[in-house]
């Protein structure tokens, strides 16, 4: 029987102590009432990552669902082979990454927050499982507000005034100079300075906004002080008690607040010769602001939004369609 009235009631079930909830009672193939969208947004802000089970939607429906919550970005700032007809979709495909980037199973195999190399990292990400293994392949998410609150008061006060540089290959994950992804990073440098503590624009919570994937160092301290401080901060970011772990089935969707979370792609796929294909979309983010009012700054590159990547722009395909927020340039450190 076809349903004409938009779905208006959802159920939210918390999954772990500090992060994660499953949302049921909604079919993403069908229209969703504004009240249910508001409830999903509220659940996202509270639980930081929400999961929808068994939703068999296509690329266009995934983009349409994401668009209820904000402006959908281009697939990824360094994506050079977007899916034809679906330029907003980033395939997370183990075989594609192994072929193009060397031994990687996902977009980034370390704890990371999506694309913090840009001055306006995505506000949120929506990941859809298309073909995932029955065993293994789980993803973890961590609550960066809990990470901040896990620091002692004197360290929170110190962190409140710090800034850090974020870039691709921050920790020399790619060292082989022939690696195609490393070459792409070097040809299209994206580097930004973010406050170490970010005030969430909607909840006003403080989040510890550093991650092992992208944060290279803390500014205005010595290298060894930076290393030690990052070790303390990353310990909180990756602490098991601040996380939730999700096992995927085909059709499952994870929707996370990228302003308040970090995540970790699977760590066990070495053991299995299996396919793993998911599709991700991201929402355009704002410029992070620290407790002292410091706004993130570009060192190299440009803000990330719905325009195509610098790589594709070189081929002259699509023009920027939105005004990006004004950002100041700072010299490279």
Q: Which is nearer to ligand SIN, 63 or 229 (CB)?
A: 63
Please confirm, yes or no, whether 268 is among the known catalytic residues: no
Torsion angle of the four alpha carbons 103, 105, 110, 116, in this order, in degrees rounded to the nearest 10: 110
Contact 117, 302 (CB under 8 A): no
| The one segment of 62-70, 103-111, 166-174, 318-326 that binds ligand SIN by CB under 6 A | 103-111
Please confirm, yes or no, whether 263 is among the known catalytic residues: yes
| Cα 104 to Cα 100: distance, rounded to the nearest angstrom | 9
Using rule CB under 6 A, residue 255 touches ligand SIN: no
Contact 181, 207 (CB under 8 A): no
How many residues bind ligand SIN (CB under 6 A)? The answer is 13
b/e code 221-253 from CB counts within 10 Å (16+ = b):
eeeeebeebbeebbebbbeeebbbebebeebbb
Q: Which is nearer to ligand SIN, 82 or 266 (CB)?
A: 266
Tokens representing 224 are 């060894």
**CA separation (Å) from 201 to 69, 273, 298?**
15, 42, 19
Please confirm, yes or no, whether 280 is among the known catalytic residues: yes
Using rule CB under 6 A, residue 262 touches ligand SIN: no
Q: Which is nearer to ligand SIN, 27 or 80 (CB)?
A: 80
| Cα 127 to Cα 27: distance, rounded to the nearest angstrom | 16
| Cα 21 to Cα 15: distance, rounded to the nearest angstrom | 5
Tokens representing 216 are 């290279």
One of 59, 94, 276, 280 is an active-site residue; which one? 280
Using rule CB under 6 A, residue 280 touches ligand SIN: yes
The single residue among 79, 93, 108, 252 that binds ligand SIN, judged by CB under 6 A, is: 108
Three-state secondary structure readout of 220-273: CCCHHHHHHHHHHHHHHHCCHHHEEEECCCCCCEEEEECCCEEEECCCCHHHCC
The single residue among 66, 118, 199, 265 that binds ligand SIN, judged by CB under 6 A, is: 265
The site map against ligand SIN for 62-101 (x = CB under 6 A) is: ------------------------------x---------
The single residue among 52, 65, 107, 294 that binds ligand SIN, judged by CB under 6 A, is: 107
The site map against ligand SIN for 114-143 (x = CB under 6 A) is: x----------x-x-----------x----
Q: Which residues are catalytic?
A: 112, 114, 263, 280
Residues that bind ligand SIN (CB under 6 A): 92, 106-108, 114, 125, 127, 139, 263, 265-266, 278, 280
């Amino acid at each position: 029987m076809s349903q004409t009235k938009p779905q208006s009631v959802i159920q939210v079930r918390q999954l772990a102590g500090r992060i994660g909830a499953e949302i049921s009672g909604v079919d993403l193939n069908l229209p969703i009432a504004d009240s249910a969208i508001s409830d999903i947004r509220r659940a996202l802000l509270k639980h930081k990552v929400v999961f929808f089970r068994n939703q068999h939607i296509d690329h266009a429906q995934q983009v349409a669902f994401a668009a209820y919550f904000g402006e959908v970005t281009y697939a990824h700032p360094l994506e050079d082979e977007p899916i034809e007809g679906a330029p907003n979709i980033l395939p997370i495909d183990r075989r594609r990454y192994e072929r193009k980037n060397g031994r990687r199973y996902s977009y980034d195999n370390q704890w990371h927050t999506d694309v913090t190399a840009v001055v306006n990292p995505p506000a949120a990400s929506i990941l859809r499982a298309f073909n995932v293994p029955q065993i293994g392949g789980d993803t973890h998410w961590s609550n960066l507000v809990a990470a901040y609150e896990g620091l002692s008061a004197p360290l929170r006060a110190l962190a409140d005034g710090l800034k850090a540089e974020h870039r691709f290959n921050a920790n020399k994950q790619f060292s082989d100079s022939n690696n195609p992804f490393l070459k792409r990073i070097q040809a299209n440098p994206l580097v930004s300075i973010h406050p170490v503590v970010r005030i969430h624009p909607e909840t006003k919570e403080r989040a510890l906004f550093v991650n092992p994937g992208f944060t290279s160092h803390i500014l205005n301290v010595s290298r060894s002080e930076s290393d030690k401080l990052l070790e303390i901060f990353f310990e909180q970011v990756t602490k098991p008690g601040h996380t939730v772990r999700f096992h995927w089935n085909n059709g499952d969707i994870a929707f996370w607040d990228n302003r308040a979370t970090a995540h970790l792609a699977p760590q066990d796929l070495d053991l299995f010769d299996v396919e793993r294909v998911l599709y991700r979309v991201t929402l355009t983010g704002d410029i992070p602001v620290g407790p002292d009012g410091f706004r993130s700054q570009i060192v190299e590159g440009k803000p990330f939004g719905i325009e195509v990547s610098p790589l594709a722009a070189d081929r002259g395909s699509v023009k920027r369609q939105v005004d990006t927020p004004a950002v100041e340039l700072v010299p490279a450190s």
